[in-house]
Amino acid sequence: MLYMRMPAMPSSVKAQTPFKNLEISAISQKAVETGRNNALNLWVMGAPIDQVLCALVSAIESACDDLQCSIMLMNADGKSMCALVGPSLPEFFLNAIDGLDIGPSVGSCGASAYSGQPVVAADIHTHPYWKPFRELCQQANLRACWSYPILATDGKVLGTFGMYYSTVREPSEQDLELIRTEASIAALIIEKMQASEQLSQAKTALEKQVQQRNRELDKSNKQLRQALEQRYEVQQHLLEIENLASMGSMMSSLTHEVNTPIGVAVTAASHLQAQLQKSRLLFEQNQLTRSALKAFYDESAEAMLIIERNLQRSAELVSTFKQLSLDQHNQQPRTFNLSSYVCEILLSLKPKLKKYKLQFCLELDPDLEILSHPGALSQILINLIMNSAMHAFEPGQAGHISVAVQIQDNHLELRYQDDGKGMTSETLSHIFEPFFTSAKQRGGSGLGLHICKDLVEKILHGSIRCQSAPGQGCQFVVRFPLI
Q: How many CB atoms lie within 10 A of CB 398?
A: 10
Site membership for ligand ADP, residue 448 (CB under 6 A): yes
Using the rule CB under 6 A, which residue among 323, 427, 477, 479 binds ligand ADP? 427
- Return d(Cα 420, Cα 56) in angstroms, integer: 90
Closest contact distance (angstroms) between CB of 305 and ligand ADP is 44
Partners of residue 464 on adjacent β-strands: 478
Choose the binding region for Mg ion from 161-169, 253-261, 367-375, 445-453 (rule: CB under 5 A): 445-453
Q: Nearer Cβ to ligand ADP, position 16 or 359? A: 359
Does 445 sit near ligand ADP (CB under 6 A)? yes
In the β-sheet with 119-121, what is the strand arrangement from edge to edge?
81-85, 68-74, 157-165, 144-151, 119-121
Minimum distance of ligand ADP from residue 446's CB (angstroms): 4
Judged by beta carbon, residue 410 or residue 441, the one nearer ligand ADP is 441
∠ at Cα 392 (422, 345), nearest 5°? 120
CA separation for the pair 319, 135 (Å, rounded): 119
Helix (H) or strand (E) holding 218: helix 173-284
* DSSP code for 442: T
Q: Does 418 bind ligand ADP (CB under 6 A)?
A: yes
Stretch that binds ligand ADP, among 201-209, 314-322, 407-415, 416-424 (CB under 6 A): 416-424
Residue 474 makes contact with ligand ADP by CB under 6 A = yes
Return the residue nearest ligand ADP (CB atom): 448
| Binding segment toward ligand ADP, per CB under 6 A, in 15-23, 256-264, 317-325, 439-447 | 439-447
Scanning residues 355 to 414, which ones bind Mg ion (CB under 5 A)? 387
Identity (one letter) of the amino acid at 125? H
DSSP 423: -
SS (H, E, C) 244-310: HHHHHHHHHHHHHHHHHHHHHHHHHHHHHHHHHHHHHHHHHCCCCCHHHHHHHHHHHHHHHHHHHHH
- Evaluate the CA torsion angle 301, 304, 308, 310 in order and state its sign: positive
5 versus 442: smaller Cβ distance to ligand ADP: 442
Binding part of the chain for ligand ADP, among 16-24, 166-174, 180-188, 446-454 by CB under 6 A, reads 446-454
**Sign of the CA dihedral running 191, 193, 194, 198:** positive
Q: Which is nearer to ligand ADP, 310 or 388 (CB)?
A: 388
State which of residues 348, 450, 454, 459 lies at the interface with ligand ADP (CB under 6 A): 450
Total chain residues near Mg ion (CB under 5 A): 2
Helices 290-330 and 374-387, interaxial angle, to 10°?
A: 100
Q: What is the DSSP letter of 235?
A: H
Nearer to Mg ion, 19 or 436 (CB): 436
Binding partner at 454 among ligand ADP, Mg ion, none, C-beta below 5 to 8 Å by kind? none
- Applying CB under 6 A, among 53, 268, 377, 449 the residue interacting with ligand ADP is 449
The CB-of-453 to ligand ADP minimum distance in angstroms stands at 9
Q: Which stretch binds ligand ADP (CB under 6 A): 47-55, 149-157, 188-196, 384-392?
A: 384-392
Minimum distance from residue 391 beta carbon to ligand ADP (Å): 4
Write the CB contacts of 164 (distance below 8 Å, at least 6 apart in sequence).
Answer: 67, 68, 69, 70, 89, 142, 144, 145
Q: Which of residues 282, 438, 475, 482 is near ligand ADP by CB under 6 A? A: 438
Minimal distance in Å, beta carbon 426 to ligand ADP?
10
Nearer to Mg ion, 95 or 424 (CB): 424
Q: Compute the least distance from the CB of residue 352 to ligand ADP, in Å.
A: 14
Residue-wise DSSP of 126-176? T-GGGGGGHHHHHHHT--EEEEEEEE-TTS-EEEEEEEEESS-----HHHH
In angstroms, the CA 339 to CA 95 distance is: 105
444 touches ligand ADP (CB under 6 A): yes
Tell me the C-alpha distance between 287 and 271, whole Å: 21
CB of 432 to Mg ion, least distance (A): 11
Beta carbon of residue 402, minimum distance to ligand ADP (angstroms, whole number)? 13
Note the residues at the interface with Mg ion (CB under 5 A): 387, 448
Note the residues at the interface with ligand ADP (CB under 6 A): 383, 387-388, 390-392, 418, 420, 422-423, 427, 431, 436-439, 444-450, 474
